[in-house]
Homo-oligomer: A and B are copies of this chain.
């Protein structure tokens, strides 16, 4: 017979460090556990959702549905064609938004897009148009199976990547990446911004369409897995991914029959824009996460998105409802003379990468980016490990070499976020707050904490409603 007292005893300390410190001073063996109290006011809802008989199985189903999807690049086509977008219809990043509440970069991007579509000559003339609300509509990209980085504005003439789930034919969409600096998605609308967008619609889009249609479907999910072995985290660093898609499209692009000077410019444009692949990573992440939507009882987050004013999340168990709070300002590094006072709050659908377990969740794969967003390599390793605390599982298809090929932490669980107070970590670019500015920096940001208790409350309400109905 053995007694529990045969083993040497010690103390496990959680919460504030003062207790552990005191024990240390008394030479008592103490194991520190990183523990924080649940978010204030969530205790009752946590208890309700924890007892939901659907929860465990629903979350397993949601995670498995997400993990089961691989996205193929199958086409490139105008938004008017693949999304049925009409003149005057504009998509934008994040949860629903009105012109009145739109931030500077969102307004700037909408003004530029209105001029691009010929609704006005001078972008600034479109302010009255959007203020009047007549003949123009705003709708989230997410409501049309699309995602858009930063302002994420999509108008009918813009060409879209088309990503398809080969098992069920579902498709997601994203515009083509313009590059960095003064670009529409950061709220710039100067003549050179519109000129670039016109070239993208007239030359780049058709060239990529020819190349894509002339190639075998390109497995974007697989490229994402390779990127994580090549220093990309697929949000703020997409260099290897850009090179791989360029490689995969090159033979068909060369044989597209297009003018060789145009083809050469397409190669230069893509080769000169390390972020080009971001707009393929995002719809591939959305495609996989959308497979986990509408699973009653699941507490898994299926979208995180920001419109520059509000940050919103959607969960697998709450349909199309958005849970929103004020978008935060990122902490990080600024370009040139810009500083924190120049930055707009967090904006863009690109947090779909973190929702899928990469970007800020896979910082450890991209040590080179860590300094760019103002961190250190140990920070990056710690961040990836910390995200394990709030996720349902890991994605073995996307492994992190330096953490012994651990799968990316995947499937943010609203209950785990509320119980631990650990917020998802997002890598992001920063747009200038004033319309027309463009990018001012890059950094790290989290969602506003209050949106997770809101989502939890809705999940708890559904649990109670089902209990009563049952």
Contact = CB atoms under 8 A, between A and B. Distances in A.
Interface of A: 229-232, 239-240, 243-244, 246-248, 250-252, 254-255, 260-261, 263-265, 267-268, 271, 367-368, 376-377, 401-402, 404-405
B247 A244 contact: no
A20 to B, nearest CB: 25
11 contacts: A230-B230, A243-B244, A243-B246, A250-B250, A250-B268, A251-B268, A252-B264, A254-B264, A254-B267, A255-B260, A377-B404
A380 B439 CA distance: 38
A251 B230 contact: no
A422 B386 CA distance: 38
A229 B260 contact: no
Given A247-B271, A402-B402, 5 more contacts: A229-B367, A230-B230, A251-B264, A254-B254, A255-B264
A264 to B, nearest CB: 4
B229 A250 contact: no
Contacts of A255: 260-261, 264
Contacts of A264: 250-252, 254-255
A22 to B, nearest CB: 25
A250 B271 contact: yes
Contact of A251 (B231, B232, B247, B267): B267
A247 B231 contact: no
A376 B403 CA distance: 11
A376 B260 CA distance: 46
Nearest to A263: B254
A251 to B, nearest CB: 4
Nearest to A252: B264
Nearest to A229: B368
A260 B267 contact: no
Contact of A271 (B229, B239, B248, B368): B248
Contacts of A243: 240, 243-244, 246-247
A271 B267 CA distance: 14
A215 to B, nearest CB: 11
Nearest to A368: B229
Contacts of A252: 264
Contact of A250 (B248, B267, B401, B405): B267
A248 B248 CA distance: 15
Contacts of A377: 401-402, 404-405
A401 B368 CA distance: 6
A197 to B, nearest CB: 21
Contacts of A250: 246, 250, 264, 267-268, 271
A248 B246 CA distance: 11
A137 to B, nearest CB: 40
Nearest to A378: B404
Contacts of A246: 243, 246-247, 250
Contact of A230 (B239, B248, B261, B265): B239
A271 B215 CA distance: 14
A261 B230 CA distance: 30
A401 B254 contact: no
Given A254-B263, A255-B264, A264-B255, A401 B247 contact: no
